[in-house]
Structure 1
Amino acid sequence: MTCSLAGAQEVALLSEKDFLTDMPIVLSVSRLPQRLDETPGTVTVMDREMIQLSGARDIVDLLRLVPGFQVSTSFESSAPVVSYHGGFNIFSGRIELLIDGRSAYSPYFVGNIGPGLQSLALADIERIEVLRGSNSAAYGARAILGVINIVTRHSADTLGAMGSARAGQNGIRDLQARLGWGNDSTTHRLTADRRSDDGLHGAHNQNSISRLNYRSDINLSGGDALQMHVGGYVIDSGKGNPGDKNDPGGDVNDPPRDGLFRSEFVQVDWRRNLGQNEDLLFRASHTQERYSDDFAYSLIPLGIKDSINIGFGGRSRAESLMVQHSLRHSEDLRWVWGGEFRSERITSRALFNRDDALKTDFSRLFGNLEWGLSEAVLLNAGAMLEHSSVMGNTLAPRLMLNWQVSPGHTLRAGVSRAYRPPSNFEQFGDVRYYWRGKLLAVNTLATGQVDSERLTAREISYLGEFPQWSASLDVRVFNERMDDFVVQAADKRPWYYANQEGFNIQGLEYQLKWQPWSGAQLLLNQAYTRIAPTVEFSTTDLAAPRLATSLALFQRLPGEVDVSLMYYRQGISRFIGAGWHRQPKMDRADLRVAKRLRWGAQRGELALVVQNLGGPYPDY
């Protein structure tokens, strides 16, 4: 249960017109700004009104409202986990995360977007675009199963001061302060916030996140624009098994402890206006990370009255340079193309048994063509040629045809191919334990022979608007064939990674938006997913629940009162990496009641949020 009070400029509710008739413009599918009915893929868009009405505390909670997504709330793996079409490990490594165009994918360990999803305060977000399906044709190997694109608010829209506070059960304590200033040509925003809680019941999960983010927007002569982002965050998360009344000591080999993840970044974008129908975008970014998780491991089970220090710490850094050219050739033809060079370095004696950095360079050429074959038919063709200094060249193409059957009703059909090279740990991991200078055990020893995963995705989708019923419907039918899937082999010790499994992910997902009566907004999502492995005994068959449902009702009442009710239901699944145990079905209901306040020119809100109205459910 939480209670918050904020003073800021008013955020309007989703109006009937905004909700249904204004087709959103998205940027994250083809790199071209496109209406939802023009994109080469199915996109879920959550704007800042929906973000506020949801009562969510972080981005991961919001992604429960996206069909096909599985999320956790545990910080055991450094940050809560997000997955699409399968929780294949305790990290989120097969989805790309973009924040204002910058990749926030952490290359550390096996790759993870979890920490990046914790790097922003929700109040600074303008919208979140989630492409449900592979998008390596536009963003490379890490987008093999999808892309989450977060667009922050323009600094000109957040002038003045804002503060918020939240307090609740389970140790919830959240504070935020924001200041915006500037003039007609230059505006700035500085946001500092901290959120903390006691985590999951039965786990050592006292968690806190401290963040500082700065954004500036500068209008240059000739229509050019310069944008700068600087920020950093620290995740201090509880880990390990604290035990219970029957075992007060907990697990001596997984003791309660704190893990620390720290990251800083800087990003500069320069958009050069070359005319009404043409522009250039230059982007440079730098990100650095440090991670620590150390504990004493008892050797008593081996007959030795001593312990050794186990650690998973290390650091990483990434630099990226990108140039992108967009051109509208005619009313029916436009394209975007460009290139990117990205360099990543990871240093960790604990994970690689070496002191020097592992370096991986990526060189990328990309392009997407949008061609109106007729008034009703639109062709999107795109591809990315990607070179990895470790794995060599791959080509990820995509072809999608959009047919507007009638005004407001669009069918899409398409196919794409994507690749994901193994992470540095999957390819080069070398974890050894020493006692008094002597080698005691080798936990992980990679073979260096892991090939890239391959995905062939086919989909048919439908996007329809029904103004007579104040409703819209988005349906996606898909078949995703994964080959050379990388798994942690369990046939012998030490552990290693290998290409062992192939499988098909088949299913249907839909999203219904409806205004059943005045002042109400209803959102219904469902995903039917079936994973069919190619081997008889597989760990992937229940990596995604067969059926998952989310339902949200937003209602405006007289007296400037808003009520939101969210319900989530997820079938049985097996989150691989969480012990490979079956996770029982989950039901969760959340409630938010808010009263908007006014003091002259000042605006505020008092809100009561109750998460998980029902009984407890297991998390991972």
Structure 2
Amino acid sequence: MARLLPLLVGVSMLGASLSPSLAATPSAAATELTIFGDMPVVLSAARLIQPLDDAPGAVTVIDRQMIEASGARDLAELLKYAPGFQLGRFKGATPLTTYHGLSDDQSRRMLVRVDGRSAYSPYFGSAIEWAKLSVDIDDIERIEVFRGSNSAAYGSNAFLGIVDIVTRPAADTPRFRTRITEGANGLQDQMVSVRQRLGDATARLTLGQNRSDGTDPNHDSYRNQRIDGRIDWPLSPDDTLEIHLGFVDTRADEGAAEDITDPERSTDSYTGFAQARWRRQLASGDELKLTYFHQEERYTDPGFRLPSLSSYLINVAGFSPAAVNAFFVSNGIPADAYVDGSINNRALRDDIELEHQTLLGERARLVWGGGIRNDRVRSERVFSRDDDIHIRQRRLFANLEYRLPPMWTFNAGAMIEDTSETGPRVSPRLAVNLHLNKQLTTRAAVSRGYRNTSPFERQADVRYAEARSGYVLAQTLQPSGDLRPEKVTAHEIGLRFQSTDGFSSIDLRVFNEEINQLLERKTTASNISPPPPLNSKGESPLYINGASATINGAELSGVYRWGTDAWIGGHYTYTDIDSNVIEAQISAPREAFFLFAATQLPWQWQLSGGWGYMGMMSWYDDDDWIHGYHHASARIAKRWRTGNTTAELAVGMDRIAGAVSDYRPEISRPPEGYVTLRLTY
């Protein structure tokens, strides 16, 4: 800690966290926030509309002005503005994000929500699949990043943090918009959006497409097409209805030319959802909210096909012709045996939730509610069964805010979750905020959270068998059986400074996160008899609750703004992981920082950019260390206005400091320039 404090003080002089005031980002998107005037507020920390000074934890707010100035092409890129996050690119279409490490190519321990809908998708491994979100980056009003466990408010998937995305109301968008981006490495983006009045309702429809040649030297180019719609319908002075619709289709290249069991091929996946959210304002000032959504995901991968199993066993696996013949005869395998390695996955989710916010006198507010979720998952390849796996969840939650003005704010809450797979769990939280004066607030919080294991982690049974006889030749994952939920006990203390005009802030978070029952992979005897002959020693991996980790560190962030389009800020993170598993211990960099700035120039020019450093780490693999690297970006934009039409031309460059390897040392992302044209009417 002695080494840490001078660094914290040095970074604090630069300014850091993105918590701009609402005055700096006026919008009809969340008119309920105006009850706090110019105070910076958040929606998602405790399910209550709160000033940041009263929130039960550290929150980074990324507003629309910051999103536009960033030049980001996808949502995952925006998390570089929040301290404590690591970003990588697993494949061209697959960005990876994690908070405080503990992640491989499966981002399991954080939650992403879009307008109240959970985007956590743990069915077949990867939990946060950013490419499957239909929302366009220009339709986002704000992003709230709660840094720390928030299971007390949002359940097990918010194990280490939550990213809450709030889109703009349909009426707050122009009648017509389009965006075109062209850049290096085959980069092509197109978007068109229209807004239309439908009687009392207002509708927005946005269509978009992204293309790229992927990451060098992978065969991983991709094309992502999406449709996103929103309808805001005031049913009465007290009732409103929001309808959200979305569809995403992604075609991505996979594999390598020289790998017979992972050949070059194209995969196809799509996700579609429909959501309805009804709000009622009660005479007492209370609010009722009812949300329902249905979501469907499908994934098709031709995988591989071995037309001649005997040739593969002799030429690749190293068996002698005599041994192969004897093996075929003794196990009833035909001479023309072949293997089909295709994959077809399907997942359905239905979720309904009721939430009630109420005032309890002049000093207290309460939000409480409950929900039911039903998931159905099917994959013959992943689970070695041709029927649905059903997962049912019931939840109850409550969060209470109690104020003792002028100095104290208390937050207490809990979530009770009961799933058909793991039974009931209670995730509580208690936080105390002490307002030393109107500008300076300290906070202390303690919480406990659980992450329920997924169907993939518990029941995956990935087998490859000879197509006619069904004889199992290889098993890459076997069922893990009963797994206990992962458990985190988190402690934090914080200090927040907010300028009187709300434009500038500094936030310090010092944390301790103790994680038990952490999953790790272990190789043991296969559950198949006889053991698969292509598995070494007849063993295959499974998951066990064998790991633990203690994460200690600090995050310092701040920002100084002198206008709605002008700011300078940054953040610094120090993270120390102590674990009985080496892969966990090295899964986050010891030190990382990011500095960013934007300024408005004469004649409607804007200049923005960022520069950061990510220390040495590994994505849960002690054989593939990523060396520390610097990353920098810059963007200059010019706007014109003619009548009702506004145009913006922007030129930008990512990774100015040089090629970056942010997932594996052999996967390189070179500098990338782009040009973007926006038109609005």
TM-score (norm 2): 0.84
Q: CA deviation at 1:111?
A: 4.5
Cα offsets for 1:91-139 (capped at 9, x unmatched): 1121111100011111321341123664221011111111000011111
In structure 2, what is the equivalent of residue 457 of structure 1?
Answer: 490
Q: 1:497 aligns with which of 513, 527, 543?
A: 543
1:127–1:274 CA distance, 2 compared to 1 (3 A)? same
The farther-off stretch of 599-608 and 302-311 is 302-311
In structure 2, what is the equivalent of residue 7 of structure 1?
Answer: none
Q: 2:286 aligns with which of 258, 278, 289?
A: 278
Q: Percent identity?
A: 35
Matches within 5 A, 1:365-404: 365-404=396-435
1:190–1:519 CA distance, 2 compared to 1 (3 A)? closer
Cα offsets for 1:267-311 (capped at 9, x unmatched): 000001112520111111000000122322663422479863323
Q: CA deviation at 1:468?
A: 9.4
Q: CA deviation at 1:254?
A: 2.6
The farther-off stretch of 113-122 and 271-280 is 113-122
Residues of 2 paired with 1:391 and 1:547: CA distance? 36
Code of the aligned partner of 2:552 = Q
Code of the aligned partner of 2:479 = A
In structure 1, what is the equivalent of residue 300 of structure 2?
Answer: 292
In structure 1, what is the equivalent of residue 518 of structure 2?
Answer: 485
Secondary structure of the residue aligned to 1:583 is coil
Q: CA deviation at 1:564?
A: 0.7
Larger radius of gyration: 2
Residues of 1 paired with 2:226 and 2:23: CA distance? 35
1:307–1:101 CA distance, 2 compared to 1 (3 A)? same
Q: 1:255 aligns with which of 238, 263, 272?
A: 263
Contact 2:107 / 2:127 at 8 angstroms: preserved in 1? yes
In structure 1, what is the equivalent of residue 653 of structure 2?
Answer: 610
Contact 1:159 / 1:181 at 8 angstroms: preserved in 2? no
Code of the aligned partner of 1:487 = E
Matches within 5 A, 1:538-557: 538-557=582-601
In structure 2, what is the equivalent of residue 596 of structure 1?
Answer: 639
Q: CA deviation at 1:378?
A: 0.5
Residues of 1 paired with 2:383 and 2:109: CA distance? 22
Residues of 2 paired with 1:479 and 1:111: CA distance? 26
Code of the aligned partner of 1:80 = P
Quote the RMSD (CA, aligned, Å): 2.2
Matches within 5 A, 1:235-254: 235-241=250-256, 249-254=257-262
Q: 2:50 aligns with which of 21, 26, 34?
A: 34
Code of the aligned partner of 1:250 = E
Q: CA deviation at 1:220?
A: 1.6
1:187 aligned onto 2:218: no
1:73 aligned onto 2:119: no
Q: CA deviation at 1:515?
A: 4.1
Contact 1:106 / 1:116 at 8 angstroms: preserved in 2? no
Q: CA deviation at 1:250?
A: 3.2
Structure (1/2) with the larger strand percentage: 1
Cα offsets for 1:207-241 (capped at 9, x unmatched): 12100011000112132110000111012222223
1:200–1:47 CA distance, 2 compared to 1 (3 A)? same
TM-score (norm 1): 0.92
Q: CA deviation at 1:470?
A: 6.5
In structure 2, what is the equivalent of residue 51 of structure 1?
Answer: 67
Secondary structure of the residue aligned to 1:50 is helix
Cα offsets for 1:489-525 (capped at 9, x unmatched): 1456211000111110111011110248997411211
Q: CA deviation at 1:143?
A: 0.5
Structure 2 unaligned blocks of 5 or more: 1-19, 27-36, 307-311, 325-335, 526-538, 664-681
1:18 aligned onto 2:64: no
The farther-off stretch of 230-239 and 138-147 is 230-239
1:345 aligned onto 2:345: no
What is the number of equivalent residue pairs in this alignment?
Answer: 596
Residues of 1 paired with 2:543 and 2:164: CA distance? 30
Contact 2:25 / 2:63 at 8 angstroms: preserved in 1? no
1:297–1:518 CA distance, 2 compared to 1 (3 A)? closer
Structure 1 unaligned blocks of 5 or more: 1-13, 242-248
Secondary structure of the residue aligned to 1:222 is coil
1:301 aligned onto 2:343: no
The farther-off stretch of 292-301 and 87-96 is 292-301
Residues of 2 paired with 1:517 and 1:155: CA distance? 26
Q: 2:352 aligns with which of 290, 297, 321?
A: 321
In structure 1, what is the equivalent of residue 392 of structure 2?
Answer: 361
1:430 aligned onto 2:461: yes
